[in-house]
């Protein structure tokens, strides 16, 4: 099992290219199921989760080819051979449930295993089910599988989500593109990945308005056609690498970044004393004078502070001047990185959904263990600013969401290497 060895060695300087968004690409890929014509995605990230979604689509009969070193995905669903998303694939990744809406809309039936792929708390399917049932689907849970059918086809409806769920918004939005009549999703998620999906679906012939707002309106069409679409920049990878110079000092330009993708996050960085400016190529992040200031953080749905940047922000707060409180309002069990950071000398107290971090002058390298995707990279960031060596084990989590971490960080001066272990 591989590990990553990090040695703190001072400020970082240079440029880091930011990949296409994992969460956007994993949503865009199932959209191929909505049409018989080809869908091509450019700027695709090269991650294990993308490979998992590829296997899932191929198991349904879709053709998926990875081109240009994995950055282009050419897909075609002209001859689907199955409507069953099997547990052996779905269990590896939460986003697998996004084949449910497209298959229901196109085939009138779908059997999808309840998903897995995450250790950060329950993320139930109830909102997905309620939304699709409102469109006329009949859904039954049997032996760990959702058996869904729409014998009379899907019909437009007004759907008010109890929570602004990204996945439920995406599943319902894709299904509604081929439903008869008009669908209105109220309390819809507003994330950039939702807007990116809507942009792609419009290129395929869908009629969608209001994406990026709490109310999305979809006018169903008879069929969708092929398209080519560029995956939006990964705002979580962007925010993660913005924290590297924030933690270590220095000045790093994040290529492809935009403040609009990480507005609430940028506000917290600037409050902590980090300078963020837009450039012709992306975002420049610099920290030049002394320790950062402690700031409080509350995770919220977009446009609030992203839950997927909470662990990384905690790593920054570990050496900040003062005491900060991080409140996690999206997922339970998302402070599992805290005990590992304390092994490095951090002072963190966790009480339910709150973590209180009292900054220390310096962290010290230690052997630590990654517990999930974002926790793994938070430990790497902490290691960059620590005295001595930090060995992060169980980094297979990392490969689900970050491509070429060692190459990108070493390119700006970090002392980091991946250790292959038998």
Q: Which residues are part of a known binding site for UDP-N-acetyl-alpha-D-glucosamine?
A: 94, 123-127, 308, 330
User: Per the residue annotation, which of 118, 200, 248, 266 is the catalytic one?
Assistant: 118
In DSSP terms, 368 is beta-bridged to 392
CB 136 within 8 A of CB 154: yes
Task: Tell me the C-alpha distance between 408 and 311, whole Å.
Answer: 20
CB 349 within 8 A of CB 356: yes
Map residue 278 onto helix, strand or coil.
strand
Per the annotation, binding residues for phosphoenolpyruvate are 22-23
CB 274 within 8 A of CB 201: no
Provide the 8-state DSSP code for 301: S
Torsion (CA) 142, 145, 146, 151 in degrees, nearest 10? -80
Q: Does 25 qualify as catalytic in the annotation?
A: no
Tell me the pairing of strands 84-85 and 3-7. unpaired
Give 323-368 as a DSSP string: EEEEE--S-TTTTTTHHHHHTTT-EEEEETTEEEEE--S--B--EE
CB 247 within 8 A of CB 381: yes
Which two structure tokens, joined as six digits, stand for 54?
Answer: 């590829």
Residues with a catalytic annotation lie at 118
């Amino acid at each position: 099992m591989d590990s990553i060895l990090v040695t703190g060695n001072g400020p970082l300087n240079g440029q880091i290219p930011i990949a296409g968004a994992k969460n956007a690409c994993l949503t865009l890929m199932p959209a191929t199921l909505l049409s018989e014509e080809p869908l091509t995605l450019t700027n695709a990230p090269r991650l294990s989760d993308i490979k998992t979604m590829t296997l899932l689509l191929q198991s349904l009969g879709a053709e998926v080819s990875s081109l240009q070193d994995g950055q282009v995905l050419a897909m075609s669903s002209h001859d689907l051979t199955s409507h069953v998303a099997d547990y052996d694939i779905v269990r590896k990744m939460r986003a697998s449930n996004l084949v449910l809406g497209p298959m229901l809309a196109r085939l009138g039936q779908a059997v999808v295993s309840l998903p897995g792929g995450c250790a950060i708390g329950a993320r139930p399917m109830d909102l997905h089910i309620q939304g699709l049932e409102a469109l006329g689907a009949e859904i039954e849970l049997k032996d760990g599988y959702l058996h869904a059918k729409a014998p009379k086809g899907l019909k437009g409806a007004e759907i008010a989500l109890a929570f602004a769920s990204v996945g439920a918004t995406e599943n319902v939005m894709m299904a509604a593109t081929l439903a008869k009549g008009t669908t209105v999703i109220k309390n819809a998620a507003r994330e950039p990945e939702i807007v990116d999906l809507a942009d792609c679906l419009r290129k395929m012939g869908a009629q969608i308005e209001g994406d990026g707002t709490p109310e999305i309106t979809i006018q169903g069409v008879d069929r969708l056609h092929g398209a080519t679409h560029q995956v939006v920049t990964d705002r979580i990878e962007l925010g993660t690498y913005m924290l590297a110079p924030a933690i270590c000092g220095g000045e790093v330009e994040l290529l492809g970044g935009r403040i609009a993708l990480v507005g609430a996050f940028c506000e917290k960085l600037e409050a902590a004393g980090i300078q963020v400016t837009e450039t012709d190529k992306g975002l420049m992040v610099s920290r030049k004078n002394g320790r950062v200031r402690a700031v409080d953080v509350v995770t919220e749905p977009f446009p609030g502070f992203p839950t997927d940047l909470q662990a990384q922000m905690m790593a920054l707060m570990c050496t900040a001047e003062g005491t900060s409180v991080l409140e996690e309002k999206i997922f339970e069990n998302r402070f599992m990185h805290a005990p590992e950071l304390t092994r490095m000398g951090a002072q963190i107290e966790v009480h339910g959904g709150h973590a209180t971090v009292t900054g220390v002058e310096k962290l010290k390298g230690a052997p630590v263990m990654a517990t999930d995707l974002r926790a793994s990279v938070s430990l790497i960031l902490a290691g960059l600013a620590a005295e001595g060596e930090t060995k992060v084990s169980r980094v297979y989590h990392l490969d689900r969401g970050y491509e070429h971490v060692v190459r990108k960080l070493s390119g700006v001066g970090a002392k980091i290497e991946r250790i292959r272990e038998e």
